[in-house]
Chains A and B, each alone.
Chain A
Amino acid sequence: MVAADSEGPEDRSFRMYRRERSIPLRGSAAALSNNLSVLQLPASDLMHFGVVHGPSAQILSSAPGGMPLAQRQLQVKVGVGVSPPLITQVHWCVLPFRVLLVLTSHRRIQMYESDGSLMVYWHALDSGDASSAQTLFARGIAASVHFICVGTWSGRILVFDIPAKGTNIVLNEELAGHQTPITDIATERAQGQDGVADMVTADDSGVLCVWRSGTVFTLLTRIPGFGVPCPSVQLWQGMVAAGYGNGQVRLYDATTGALHVQISAHARTICALDLAPEVGKLLSAAEDTFVHIWKLSRNPESGSIEVEHCHGECVSDTQLCGARFCDPSGCSFAVTGYDLAEILRFSSV
Chain B
Amino acid sequence: MSVRTLPLLFLNLGGEMLYVLDQRLRAQNIPGDKARKDEWTEVDRKRVLNDIISTMFNRKFMEELFKPQELYSKKALRTVYDRLAHASIMRLNQASMDKLYDLMTMAFKYQVLLCPRPKDVLLVTFNHLDSIKGFIQDSPTILHQVDETFRQLTEIYGNLSAGEFQMIRQTLLIFFQDLHIRVSTFLKDKVQNSNGRFVLPVSGPVPWGTEVPGVIRIFNDKGEEVKKTGFKHGGNYVAAQKEGAFELYGDRVLKLGTNMYSANRPVETHMSATSKNLASKTQENIAPNPLAKEELNFLARLMGGMEIKKTSGPEPGFRLNLFTTDEEEEHAALSRPEELSYEVINIQATQDQQRNEELARIMGEFEITEQPEITEQSTSKGDDLLAMMDRL
Residues of A within 8 A of B (CB): 1-3, 5, 24-28, 30-32, 53-56, 75, 80-84, 86, 88, 106, 132-135, 137, 180-181, 183, 203-205, 227-229, 231, 245-248, 258-269, 288-290, 292, 304, 306-307, 309, 312-314, 316-319, 338-339, 341
Which residue of chain B has the shortest Cβ distance to A312 in the bound complex? B234
**A289 close to B200 (CB less than 8 A):** yes
Does B374 reach chain A (CB closer than 8 Å)?
no
Residue contact B216 to A180, C-beta cutoff 8 Å: no
Please name all residues of chain B whose beta carbon is closer than 8 Å to the beta carbon of A292 when the two chains form the complex: 233
Find residues 150-198 in chain B having any chain A CB closer than 8 Å to their own CB: 161-164, 166-167, 169-170, 173-174, 177-178, 180, 193, 197-198
Q: Are A261 and B216 in contact (CB under 8 A)?
A: yes
- The residue in chain A whose Cβ has the minimal distance to the Cβ of B70 is A135
Contact status B213-A204, CB under 8 Å? no
CB of A290 within 8 A of CB of B68, answer no
With A204-B163, A246-B207, A258-B221 as given contacts, are A314 and B234 in contact (CB-CB < 8 Å)?
A: yes
Distance in angstroms between the alpha carbons of A127 and B231 in the assembled complex: 46
27 residue pairs bridging A and B, Cβ less than 8 Å apart: A1-B234, A3-B232, A25-B280, A26-B280, A27-B280, A28-B178, A30-B174, A31-B169, A75-B286, A83-B290, A86-B1, A88-B1, A106-B1, A133-B68, A134-B3, A183-B163, A204-B163, A227-B161, A245-B162, A247-B210, A265-B213, A289-B202, A290-B233, A292-B233, A307-B216, A339-B180, A341-B280
Q: How far is the CB of A283 from chain B (nearest CB, A)?
A: 15
For B212, list chain A residues within 8 Å (CB): 264, 267
Chain B residues near A261 (CB-CB < 8 A): 216-219
Contact partners of B215 in chain A: CB under 8 A: 263-264
Asked, given contacts A31-B177, A80-B290, whether A2 binds B234 with beta carbons under 8 Å apart, the answer is: yes
**Does A317 lie within 8 Å of B219, measured CB to CB?**
no
For the complex, give the distance between the alpha carbons of A229 and B279 in Å.
Answer: 35
| Bound: A165/B18 CA distance, A | 60
Nearest CB of chain A from residue B372's CB, rounded to whole Å:
28
Give the shortest distance, in Å, between B226 (CB) and chain A (any CB): 9
Residue numbers in A under 8 Å from B302 (CB-CB): none
- Cβ–Cβ contact B197 & A339, under 8 A: yes
B113 at the A interface (CB under 8 A): yes
A303 closest partner in B (C-beta): B221
Alpha-carbon distance A259/B218, docked complex (angstroms): 9
- Give 5 nearest A-B pairs by CB, closest first: A204-B163, A309-B231, A31-B173, A3-B234, A264-B211
Interface centre among A80, A86, A106 (most CB of B within 10 A): A86
* CB-based contact A180/B161 at 8 Å: yes
Distance in Å: Cβ of B343 to nearest Cβ of chain A = 15
Whether B3 and A81, one on each chain, are in contact in the complex, defined by CB atoms closer than 8 angstroms, is no
Judge whether B337 is part of the interface by a CB distance below 8 angstroms: no
Q: Among the listed A32, A133, A338, which residue makes an inter-chain contact with B4, where contact means beta carbons less than 8 Å apart?
A: A133
- A55, B161: Cβ atoms under 8 Å? no
A26, A81, A306, A316: residue with the most chain B Cβ atoms closer than 10 Å: A81
Q: Is the CB of B234 within 8 A of A259?
A: no
Q: Report B318 CB to chain A, min CB distance, Å.
A: 38
A290 to B68, CA, bound (A): 35
- A residues in contact with B207, CB < 8 Å: 246, 267-268
Are A263 and B163 touching (Cβ within 8 A)? no
Contact A135 B1 (CB under 8 A): yes
Residue in chain B with minimal CB distance to A252: B219
B163 touches A229 (CB 8 A): yes
* A309 to B, closest residue via Cβ: B231
- Would A259 and B174 be within 8 Å (CB), given that A135-B70, A312-B233 are in contact? no
Q: 18 more A-B contacts (CB under 8 A) besides A247-B213, A258-B221, A268-B210? A: A1-B202, A5-B231, A28-B178, A88-B1, A204-B166, A229-B166, A231-B166, A248-B211, A260-B218, A261-B216, A262-B217, A264-B210, A264-B216, A266-B213, A268-B207, A317-B197, A317-B198, A317-B200
A304:B220 contact, CB within 8 angstroms = yes
Contacts of A318 in B (CB 8 A): 200
Q: Are B211 and A314 in contact (CB under 8 A)?
A: no
Instruction: Tell me the bound Cα distance from A268 to B178 in angstroms.
Output: 22
Residue of B nearest to A248 (CB): B211
The CA-CA distance from A10 to B207 in the complex, in Å, is 35
Q: Does B341 make an interface contact (CB < 8 A)?
A: no
Q: Using a CB-CB cutoff of 8 Å, which residues 102-124 of chain B contact chain A?
A: 113, 116, 118
Asked if A267 contacts B199 (CB within 8 A), the reply is: no
Q: Which residue of A lies closest to B176 (CB)?
A: A339
Q: How far in angstroms is the closest Cβ of chain A from B209?
A: 5
Task: Tell yes or no: B47 within 8 A of A by CB.
Answer: no
Assess whether B293 is interfacial by the CB under 8 Å rule: yes
Distance of B63 from chain A, by nearest CB (Å): 15
Instruction: Verify if B31 is at the interface (C-beta below 8 Å from A).
Output: no
Q: Which residues on A sit within 8 Å (CB–CB) of B217? A: 261-263
Distance of A25 from chain B, by nearest CB (Å): 8
A107-B232 Cα distance, complex, nearest whole Å: 43
Q: How far is the CA of A262 from the CA of B228 in the complex (A)?
A: 10
Interface: B294 (CB within 8 A): yes
Using Cβ atoms and an 8 Å threshold, which residues of chain A touch B210?
Answer: 246-247, 264, 267-268
- CB of A137, distance to nearest CB on chain B (Å): 7
**CB of B93 within 8 A of chain A?**
no
Query: How many angstroms from the CA of A339 to the CA of B282 in the assembled complex?
Result: 11
The digit string for B113-148, where 1 denotes a CB below 8 A from any CB of A, is 100101000000000000000000000000000000
Contact with A along B212-254 (1 / 0, CB 8 A): 1111111111010000000111110100000000000000000
Using Cβ atoms and an 8 Å threshold, which residues of chain A touch B198? 317
- The docked-state distance in angstroms from the alpha carbon of A318 to that of B293 is 36
Q: Which residues of A contact B281 (CB under 8 A)?
A: 27
Chain A neighbourhood of B220, CB < 8 A: 304
Q: Does B79 contact A (CB under 8 A)?
A: no
Interface string of B1-34 (1 = CB under 8 A from A): 1111000000000000000000000000000000
Q: B223 to A259, Cβ gap below 8 A?
A: yes
